[in-house]
Structure 1
Amino acid sequence: MKKLNLLFIVILGVTFISCSSDDRDENRNNNNLIGTWYGVSTNGNISRVPDNNIVKFTSDNRVQFIYEGFGIDGEDISEFGNWNKSELTLTITWDESDSGLENYVLEILELNESTLRWKTEITGEGVLTETYTKD
């Protein structure tokens, strides 16, 4: 009976440790996402800021996309939403959008302290791959 209890405790401990590690890895990846990201390439075309995109992720799961100079008379345009990350999928739910375009789903290809690279398929246009960096 003592061996059975010991085996149960060992299995329970290993399960607890492995789950805790996964949670810490996910939190670290989410922390890497938080901050201000500046576009460096779109579909592999390298430039300092493609389309003048800046993306800001906050710890309260809010996101702001800033398109510098794309408004009337060169004004900046911003879009706001909520972000949710699950493993390698980043979903942005826009505050305001056309019907059917409420969710922007991105596949994270790379995420670390200084590089964010994702891709998404845009209906009728193909696959869009973007790379961002934190300064």
Structure 2
Amino acid sequence: MKKLNLLLGILIAVTILSCSSDDDDSNSNEPTILGEWILVNQIYDGQNENLSDCKLQETLTFNSDGTLISYYTDNDPCEFFTEIQQYELNGDELKILFGQNLDFRFNVLTLSTTELSIENFYRNGETLEENNRTIYEYEKI
């Protein structure tokens, strides 16, 4: 009987240990948009744009709760702004909502563990023509 209890105890212990959660490590190499990304290049009408040092400090931070924190500049000298938007990622389409009436949509061209490339194809109810689209390239920080 003692041996049976010992065997049962070992079996329970092994079962508990084998069921421990390793979810944090299992998907660590799969690409995800979550995290902070810094702008490294911008392409308009097929041409690389000459980005200022200020522009190269812009970041996007995608959170798991569907919020996006944009850190950007509109002016020189470097005057930065931070805004919180909502985002939705459905397959290869990224939708960013600026308030209730403004939404921008992007084709996700590249999403890896270190690189994100998105092309703006829709803005405020209008689909942009091919030669009026901007591609934004980011690296994960």
Same fold (TM over 0.5): yes
TM-score, normalised to structure 2's length? 0.60
- State percent identity of aligned pairs: 16
Q: Return the offset for 1:63.
A: 0.2
Give the paired residue count: 102
Which of structures 1 and 2 has the larger relative contact order (alpha carbons within 8 angstroms, sep 6+)? 2
Larger % of helix: which?
Answer: 1
Does 1:134 find its partner at 2:137? no
Distance (whole Å) between structure 1 residues aligned to residue 34 and residue 52 of structure 2: 21
Q: Return the offset for 1:75.
A: 3.0
Show the counterpart of 2:118.
Answer: 118
User: Bigger radius of gyration, 1 or 2?
Assistant: 2
TM-score, normalised to structure 1's length? 0.62
Q: Work out whether residues 71 and 77 of structure 1, in 8 Å CA contact, stay in contact via their aligned partners in 2.
A: no
Q: Return the offset for 1:83.
A: 0.8
Aligned CA RMSD, in angstroms, stands at 2.9
Structure 2: 5+ residue stretches without partners: 1-26
**Cα gap change, 1:48/1:57 in structure 2, threshold over 3 Å: closer, same or farther?**
farther
**Cα gap change, 1:112/1:50 in structure 2, threshold over 3 Å: closer, same or farther?**
farther
Larger % of strand: which?
Answer: 2
Q: Deviations along 1:77-135, whole A, 9 cap, x unmatched? A: 12221110111000011137xx5xx1110000000110000101365880100100013
